[in-house]
Amino acid sequence: SSAARALSPAPPAPTPPRRVRPARCAGFVGPAVESATPGARAATLASSRGGTDSSLAICRVLNGMWQTSGGWGRIDRADAVDAMLAYADAGLSTFDMADHYGPAEDLYGMFINKVRRERPPEMLEEVRGLTKWVPPPVKMTRSFVEENINRSRKRMDVAALDMLQFHWWDYANPGYLDALKHITDLKEEGKIKTVALTNFDTERLQIILENGIPIVSNQVQHSIVDMRPQKKMAELCELTGVKLITYGTVMGGLLSEKFLDTNINIPFAGPPLNTPSLQKYKRMIDAWGGWSLFQALLQTLKKVSLKHGVPISTVAVRYILNQTSVAGSMVGVRLGLSEHIRDTNAILLLLLDEEDMGSITEASQRGRNLMEVIGDCGDEYRA
């Protein structure tokens, strides 16, 4: 009837395309915040070696893209790019990838183009794409290095890489110094903004710095179970201003409620270790002290997490962010498959008190010193 039609709501007007105003990674607003500041969302990585100053502000929690490389589920590219945009809109705008992480660099290129088209220009200034180069141990000529750097620049669709993190397999081959000198030259030419390392040990970091290479950071494995970076590396970092970026900080998800009160030593009794990262970090637990000791650590973390109303993983990352010389910690993102934006932002708001830090340190120290079991940072890749 006409009365019924008068009462029925009018059809909604078509929604105009909106330009989202994203959250800010607060340290990017005005002067960059030092990583030591409690609650700081951003940290500055800087070096004055190699002739010119270089610095880069990053979010203290980085979105790690190893999980795009296969082994965690099929990635739909469009969904992945949309997920990257959601993280950036929430203020989590630093992405970490590598030349060998499947389509990670290509996804970043698609994402950065979407940012250019659909977001305000200030967001483009905050987004960071950190990549790695893991070359075979061949002769490091200028042309070989440049060709590989240009490939990453093309895939990521940027004129200059925000950061190139360099990995080297064999210390007996001194070609890493040749490569880093060429990389420094490419930085001077404007193709790379900052030069960094991944999985180098303290001894080699010192040699590299003595050669005048402007290293701003070293990305290393670091968690409540794996405290090796604090044994030797952090001291050199304090002396030289090099910062640490950490990965494996939630141990692929092992540092979570999902694995509390479980016995994975009994087949099918606990959650399956069905990803490359879960399998990798379970081996770290075995080296550190085994599953029952790890359960005691999870119990300690659970008490702290309940006190603050956050998940165990949030406490685990905050503890590492509070360590000496740590500028940022990686949280893996399963783009388009699951997202942890709220829990990740909670890391940046969480303040652990002395009692929290002390109880976690005590639980961590019940295990073996992995420096004695495995060696220094990165030695697990060179056994």
Rounded distance between C-alpha atoms, residue 225 and residue 360, angstroms: 10
| 212: CATH | 3.20.20.100
Q: Which two tokens stand for residue 274?
A: 């069905």
337: left (phi over 0), alpha (psi -120 to 50) or beta: alpha
Report if residue 253 sits inside a domain.
yes
Residue 17 has pLDDT above 50, yes or no: no
| 193 contacts 156 by C-beta, under 8 angstroms | no
Any residues with CB less than 8 A from the CB of 284 and at least 6 apart, and which?
Answer: 221, 223, 225, 226, 248, 251, 370
Which one-letter amino acid corresponds to residue 362? Answer: E
Any residues with CB less than 8 A from the CB of 173 and at least 6 apart, and which?
Answer: 137
Burial class (CB in 10 A: 0-12, 13-18, 19+), 359: middle
DSSP β-bridge partners for residue 220: 246
Q: Which two tokens stand for residue 296?
A: 């005691």
Residue 15 has pLDDT above 90, yes or no: no
Report if residue 19 sits inside a domain.
no
Q: Tell me, what's the pLDDT at 8?
A: 43
Average pLDDT on 27-52 reads 65
- Helix then strand then coil, % of the chain, to nearest 5: 45, 15, 40
Name the domain count of the chain. 1
Report if residue 15 sits inside a domain.
no
Q: Tell me, what's the pLDDT at 49?
A: 73
Q: Which domain holds residue 59?
A: 42-381
Report if residue 103 sits inside a domain.
yes
Q: Report pLDDT digits (tens) over 174-207.
A: 999 999 999 999 999 999 999 999 999 999 999 9
Among 100-109, 239-248, 303-312, name the one with the lowest average pLDDT. 100-109
Residue 341 has pLDDT above 70, yes or no: yes
Q: Report pLDDT digits (tens) over 234-282.
A: 999 999 999 999 999 999 999 999 999 998 877 777 888 888 889 999 9
Q: Tell me, what's the pLDDT at 32?
A: 39
242 alpha carbon, distance to own chain's centre: 16
Residue 21 has pLDDT above 60, yes or no: no
Rounded distance between C-alpha atoms, residue 342 and residue 356, angstroms: 22
The better pLDDT of the pair 102, 18 is held by 102
Report if residue 32 sits inside a domain.
no
Q: Tell me, what's the pLDDT at 219?
A: 97
Report if residue 21 sits inside a domain.
no
State the residue for tokens 């990549």: 131
DSSP string, 302-339: HHHHHHHTS-HHHHHHHHHHTSTTEEEEEEE--TTT--
Report if residue 6 sits inside a domain.
no
Q: Tell me, what's the pLDDT at 70?
A: 65
Q: Would strands 54-59 and 42-47 be described as parallel, antiparallel, or unpaired? A: antiparallel
Taking only Cα atoms into account, the Rg of the chain, rounded to an integer number of angstroms, comes to 22
Q: Which two tokens stand for residue 218?
A: 């070293």
Q: Tell me, what's the pLDDT at 322?
A: 97
% pLDDT > 90, the chain: 73
* Helix (H), strand (E) at residue 170: none
Closest alpha carbon to 183 in 197, 171, 173, 169? 197
Report if residue 11 sits inside a domain.
no
Rounded distance between C-alpha atoms, residue 138 and residue 174, angstroms: 11
